[in-house]
Amino acid sequence: MLGRIALIAALTAAPAFAQTKGGIDWNRRVLVGHGQGAPDLNAPSVAVARLGAERAARLDAYRNALELLKGLEVQSGGSVASLLQNDATLTTRVEGSLKGVKPVKTHYYSDGGVSLDIEVPLDELPAELARAIRVPAGMTPLAGAGAGAAGTPAQIPPAQVQGDMLVQVAQGEAAVLDNDRPAARQKAIDDALRRAVEMAAGTRVSATTETKDFQLKMDQVLTHAQGFVRRYEIVREGMDGAVVQVAVRAFIGTAELDKDLEAMGLLMARKGMPRTMVLIAEQNIGMAAPRAVWMRGESALVSADLRIAETTVLDALKNGGFGQLIDPEIAAEKTVQVGGIASEITAAQARKLKSLTGAEVILFGQAIATVRGEMPDLGPGWLSCTATITGRAVNTDNGDILSTAEATQSAAQLDDVSCGKEAIKKASRAFGQEMIKKIAARWSKDVSSGNDIHVTVRKVPSFRTASDFRAALSQRVRGVRNVSQRSFASGTQELDVTLQGSTEEFAQEVEAKKLGKFSVRVIGLTANTVDLELGQ
């Protein structure tokens, strides 16, 4: 309490932040972005508050620098903003260049707040942008060739190309809490890798790292945009007071994640090897409605070969790195036991299926084939048909939709049933590939940016206790990115937690670690929910 009062007092006594966003210094040929960040009054230490403020100030300076850059005029008329709007690749390169600039003129206030400037050498902007910018009369045109102006601050080396990878050096920081240096080191590595990919590829990334006594066991960095880090090396590490600083050399791949089976395997492992079940109803040509062996127990009405879509999608998932697939016969048998499932599946039915099969993800959909007409160009009797398959993947514990997809394919055969089968097979293959891509992107986002889980906390005596516990989760548990309170009533607190890592790891750490004044017991756990109880 005294620390919080002192922090508030320091905040009220701190000088006001400068209001300028920065500007263009044509004499020094630099773009200056000004940023400011205020400390978190609920931070558990001055080091944590200062790091948070510094990151906020750096982000503010970057945004302001980008805004100033977009406002510059170009030779052909208009502004840089319009030029970037029509060129996503150039935008990515510009954003990476700005994020790679080191801060200058950093000022630390007594309350932990920070103001800083970044300086972007105009001559080091991408050549096509530098050539397009209109400079004031009497000024030399921008070089655009990577030659920095004299007197500009030292910059982090730009990314280098090695085969199909980009290699980027970056530094990350994290404050030590409760003498837990390994946790701080992991967060510093995460911070460095995020910066590396932002600088090299203009995208967001985060480390998936498991450590034991400072010894790395597994490292894989995943992203949901333009690339992922295949591996990294620790360049140097050290302490600055209570802050761990780690510099990494990141080797950033540019291939699509769903086409890299090694990366998919590590992603699946980091998500706890989710078990997946496929339920797809089919309507081939001549049928009145989609049917499946698991629909309302009417398996006798469905022929044995009406499993084309399910079989094809299962094969696509298996070939795409999904290692834990529920056998289709078991899936059908257990779904019949649940009963009442037709064209939709409810959250309650999904939870029941999880209890019967262990499936954590259900891919649910339907495939419909229709005749388009005869194709005389192919010969007498040839028919053209089309199949469309739609579906969604859902989490079984909370009904959350992971992804949705739709695919349509055509085929030609001499009889309508064979034509419908071929079209369904082709559509299912395309549907499976699209689902793999979207689920991988979602899980990659969960691992890199944070997985949203629901936390219920019981035996919370007061709203003040609820607020203090929310702050303790946010600051003292590794992997927690954000905590939002959904409700508090009758001693029960409902929280939405954005988490990097698995729910099980979160539960283990919450129960094992003393969270300030709180002792916690885990009384329930699923892949996306945790039930906690506060001790006395």
Tell me how far CA of residue 368 lies from CA of 302, 387, 409, 425, in angstroms.
15, 5, 11, 11
Residue pair 178/245 in contact (Cβ under 8 Å)? The answer is no
Q: For the domain covering 451-534, report its CATH number.
A: 3.30.70
Tell me how far CA of residue 526 lies from CA of 198, 299, 395, in angstroms.
33, 32, 10
Mean pLDDT of 376-394: 89
Tell me how far CA of residue 185 lies from CA of 43, 54, 207, in angstroms.
19, 18, 12
Mean pLDDT of 190-201: 72
Measured distance CA(440)–CA(322) in Å, rounded: 10
Reported as a pLDDT band with limits 50, 70 and 90, residue 49 is: confident
Please, what sign has the CA dihedral across residues 283, 284, 285, 287?
negative
What are 458-490's pLDDT values in tens digits?
999 999 899 888 888 887 787 787 888 889 999
The sheet with strand 276-283 has its strands ordered as 276-283, 361-374, 383-395, 401-413
Q: State the DSSP code for 133.
A: B
- Residue range(s) of every CATH 3.30.1660 domain in the chain: 157-255
Measured distance CA(530)–CA(504) in Å, rounded: 9
Mean pLDDT of 254-274: 66
Measured distance CA(188)–CA(180) in Å, rounded: 13
Q: State the DSSP code for 186.
A: H
> What global pTM score does this model have?
0.54
Of 265 and 34, which is predicted with more confidence? Answer: 34
Percent of the chain with pLDDT over 90: 16
Q: Which CATH superfamily does the domain covering 272-441 fall into?
A: ABC-type transport auxiliary lipoprotein component (3.40.50.10610)
> Residue 134 is inside which H or E element, if any?
none
- Residue range(s) of every CATH 3.30.70 domain in the chain: 451-534
What are 83-119's pLDDT values in tens digits?
777 666 677 667 766 766 778 788 888 777 888 888 8
At residue 9, the pLDDT reads: 43
Q: State the DSSP code for 299.
A: G
Mean pLDDT of 56-72: 85
What are 321-368's pLDDT values in tens digits?
888 899 988 988 888 888 778 778 888 888 888 889 989 899 999 999
CATH 3.30.1660 matches 157-255: yes
Q: Is the pLDDT of residue 222 over 50?
A: no
Of 427 and 149, which is predicted with more confidence? Answer: 427
Q: If you average pLDDT over each of 170-184, 347-361, 420-434, 522-536, which comes out highest?
A: 420-434
Residue whose tokens read 């997946």: 276
Reported as a pLDDT band with limits 50, 70 and 90, residue 319 is: confident
